[in-house]
Amino acid sequence: MGKPARPSFPVRSVSRRLEDPVIDLTSLFLHVLAAIGLVAGGLAQVMAGSRLRTAESGSELLAWTRFTRTAGWLVAASAALSLLTGGHLAGAVWGGEAGGFANPFITLGLVGLIVLVPIGPAVGERRFRRLAEAAAELGESTASERLHRAARSPALWGPVHSLVGVGVGQVALMVYKPGWLVGALVLVLTFAAGWVAGSAVAARSAPAAHG
C-alpha cells in the first residue's frame, strides 16, 4: 500500500492570511491619520488667519500667508492619502457581498474628498497668492488699508474654514456610518457651516483690526 497523500495547502492563501491583516490595519491606520491631518491642516489655517488679519507690516503679512498656504498642503496630502487608503479599505475590508461602494459612508466620503475639499483651495489659493505677492513688495513697510481689506475678506476665509467643516463631516461619516440622505446632509451642512463661520469671523475682524 502506498503512503496516504498529504493534504495540500495553497501557499498563496496562507501568505495572504498572514499579510492581509497587516496591510489592512496599516491602511486603516493611515486612513485615520489622514482624517486627523485633514482637520488639523484646516485648523492650522484658521488659527493662522487670526494673526494674518491683524498683521501690520508687509513682512508679517507675508510670513502668515506663507504659513497658511503651507498648512493647505497638509490638507491636500491628507485628502490624497484618504482617497488611496479609502479605496483599498472599500475593496478589502468594508466591501461585503455588494461591494464597498454600496456603503453610503464610503461613496459619500469619496465624493466629499473629490468634490468639496478642492473648492476651498481653488477659491482661496489665488487670493493668498496675490496677497503674498503684494506683501513681499512691501517688506517692512506698513500695509495699506486696501491690503488689509484683502487679508480680512470673507471671500478668502469662507473657503478656508470650509475645509474644517469637510474634515469634521468626513470623520462623522467614518464614525456614524449613516445612510445616503443623512450622510449627504452631514457633508453639505458641515461644509456650509464652515464657510459661513469663516465669512462671519472675517467680517467681525474688520472693525476690531482697523476700526
pLDDT of residue 95: 63
pLDDT of residue 151: 93
Mean pLDDT of the chain: 85
Residues in the chain: 211
What tens digit of pLDDT does each residue of 70-80 get? 998 999 999 99
Question: How much is the pLDDT for 8?
Answer: 44
State phi, psi for 57 to the nearest 5 degrees.
Answer: -95, 165
pLDDT reading at 7 higher than 60: no
Predicted confidence band at 13 (pLDDT cuts at 50, 70, 90)?
very low
Note the pLDDT of residue 79.
93
Instruction: Please report the pLDDT score of residue 161 as a whole number.
Output: 94
Whole-number pLDDT of residue 65: 94
pLDDT of amino acid 91: 78
The pTM assigned to this predicted structure is: 0.80
SS3 99: coil
- For residue 180, the model assigns a pLDDT of 96
Residue 200 CB partners (closer than 8 Å, separation 6+): 154
Q: What tens digit of pLDDT does each residue of 105-148 get?
A: 889 999 999 998 888 888 888 899 999 999 999 889 999 899 99
Contact 27, 81 (CB under 8 A): no
Q: What is the DSSP string of 85-140?
A: HHHHHHHHTS-TTT-GGGSHHHHHHHHIIIIITTHHHHHHHHHHHHHHHHHHHHTT
- Give the list of residues 6+ apart from residue 118 with CB closer than 8 angstroms, or none: none
pLDDT digits (tens, 9 = 90+) for 182-199: 999 999 999 999 999 999
